[in-house]
């Protein structure tokens, strides 16, 4: 247990200086991923205490939770640790963060413990119950909005993928979702309004990325940065076209955070890692 905690803290401390190796294609990434997986399983797995005192962040208590084929340890993978290390390194650069698609709340918890003012947005009632439990266990109180994020305030149909609820989404955001599905109506909040009131956004909206990002004006991004997964090739093309020649830059994990210069540089799924959108000239690692 002690070795696993040392490993996790080593990763969180080292990842900013190793940013040139964050692409999944590098041998360094593969090595670090091999360190992270058993450490996370021992610290937060089904047979563990599910507690760990992380450098900079403090003690994290994340009870093991299954979401169909995925469980809570998958939310602590190396790609997530990279994002957590970014939050920690830049906790004095940003003040107010939005967690879009908050799931069971791990990003909101880490951001809150690092001193950010946090607003969390999550439409699934089952996940919302878990967010509230986890936030209470970690003595943090982000403001939680029980809604999805879309183009405008209103209501929309939500599809819960019961075999993997991390893949649940606003209906129509994904082509031919698989397995057993539950559908129900959820409230929605305008992405553009959220963007305008936060300086850092973590976006995980399961296929709806292009819709919300292309609803914005370029001027909306002058004071706000976002880190997100791009759910598909078509979404990647739309997002690239929205920002092309705009002065707003994109930096891709699959390029080890180099600037996106053409459509072929864009990530097209979670397997390519995250995309960082900013008016900054480089990602502040």
Model confidence over 2-61: pLDDT tens digits? 799 999 999 999 999 999 999 999 999 999 999 999 999 999 999 999 999 999 999 999
Model pTM? 0.96
User: How much is the pLDDT for 179?
Assistant: 83
User: How much is the pLDDT for 44?
Assistant: 97
User: How much is the pLDDT for 254?
Assistant: 98
- pLDDT bucket at 231, cuts 50 / 70 / 90: confident
pLDDT reading at 99 higher than 90: yes
Please give the average per-residue pLDDT across 163-179, as a whole number.
Answer: 88
Percent share of the chain, pLDDT over 90 = 95
Tokens of 193: 């309004």
Question: CB–CB of 131/122 below 8 Å?
Answer: yes
User: How much is the pLDDT for 178?
Assistant: 78
- pLDDT bucket at 249, cuts 50 / 70 / 90: very high
Tokens of 151: 């183009």
Percent share of the chain, pLDDT over 70 = 100
- pLDDT bucket at 177, cuts 50 / 70 / 90: confident
pLDDT reading at 139 higher than 90: yes
Going from the C-alpha of 3 to that of each of 39, 137, 214, the distances in angstroms are 8, 24, 45
The contacts of residue 115 (CB under 8 Å, 6+ apart) are: 91
pLDDT reading at 64 higher than 80: yes
User: How much is the pLDDT for 2?
Assistant: 78
Assigned superfamily of 76-278:
Vaccinia Virus protein VP39 (3.40.50.150)
Upper half-sphere CA count for residue 207 (Cβ side, 13 Å): 14
The contacts of residue 6 (CB under 8 Å, 6+ apart) are: none
The residues spanned by each domain of the chain are 76-278
pLDDT in tens, 194-211: 999 999 999 999 989 999
pLDDT reading at 1 higher than 90: no
Enumerate long-range contacts of 120-123, CB under 8 Å, 24 or more apart.
Answer: 120/144, 120/145, 121/145, 121/147, 121/148, 121/149, 121/189, 121/194, 122/146, 122/147, 123/147, 123/148, 123/158, 123/168, 123/170, 123/186, 123/187
Question: CB–CB of 280/225 below 8 Å?
Answer: yes
User: How much is the pLDDT for 171?
Assistant: 94
pLDDT reading at 176 higher than 90: no
The 8-class DSSP code of residue 188 comes to: E
Please give the average per-residue pLDDT across 128-138, as a whole number.
Answer: 97
CA distance 50 to 60: 8
User: How much is the pLDDT for 57?
Assistant: 93
Q: What is the mean pLDDT of the chain?
A: 96
Of 161, 212, 214, 223, give the one whose Cα is nearest residue 190: 212
């Amino acid at each position: 247990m002690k070795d696993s905690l040392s490993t996790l803290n080593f990763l969180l401390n080292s990842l900013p200086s190793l940013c040139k190796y964050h692409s999944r294609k590098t041998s360094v990434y593969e090595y670090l991923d091999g360190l992270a997986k058993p450490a996370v399983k021992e610290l937060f797995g089904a047979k563990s205490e599910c507690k760990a005192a992380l450098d900079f962040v403090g003690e994290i208590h994340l009870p093991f939770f299954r979401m169909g084929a995925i469980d809570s340890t998958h939310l602590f993978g190396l790609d997530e640790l990279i994002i957590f290390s970014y939050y920690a390194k830049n906790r004095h650069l940003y003040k107010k963060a939005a967690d879009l698609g908050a799931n069971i709340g791990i990003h909101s918890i880490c951001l809150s413990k690092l001193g950010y003012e946090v607003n969390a947005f999550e439409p699934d009632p089952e996940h919302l119950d878990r967010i509230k439990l986890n936030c209470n266990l970690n003595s943090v109180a982000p403001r939680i909005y029980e809604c999805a994020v879309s183009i405008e305030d209103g209501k929309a149909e939500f599809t819960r993928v019961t075999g993997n609820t991390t893949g649940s989404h606003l209906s129509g955001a994904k082509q031919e979702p698989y397995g057993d599905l539950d559908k129900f109506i959820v409230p929605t909040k305008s992405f553009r309004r959220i963007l305008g009131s936060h300086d850092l956004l973590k976006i995980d909206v399961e296929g709806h990325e292009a819709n919300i990002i292309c609803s914005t004006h370029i001027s909306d991004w002058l004071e706000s940065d976002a880190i997100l997964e791009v759910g598909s090739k078509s979404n990647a093309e739309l997002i690239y076209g929205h920002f092309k020649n705009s002065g707003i830059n994109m930096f891709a994990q699959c390029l080890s955070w180099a600037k996106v210069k053409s459509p072929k540089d864009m990530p097209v799924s979670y397997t390519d890692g995250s995309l960082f959108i900013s008016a900054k000239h480089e990602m502040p690692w």
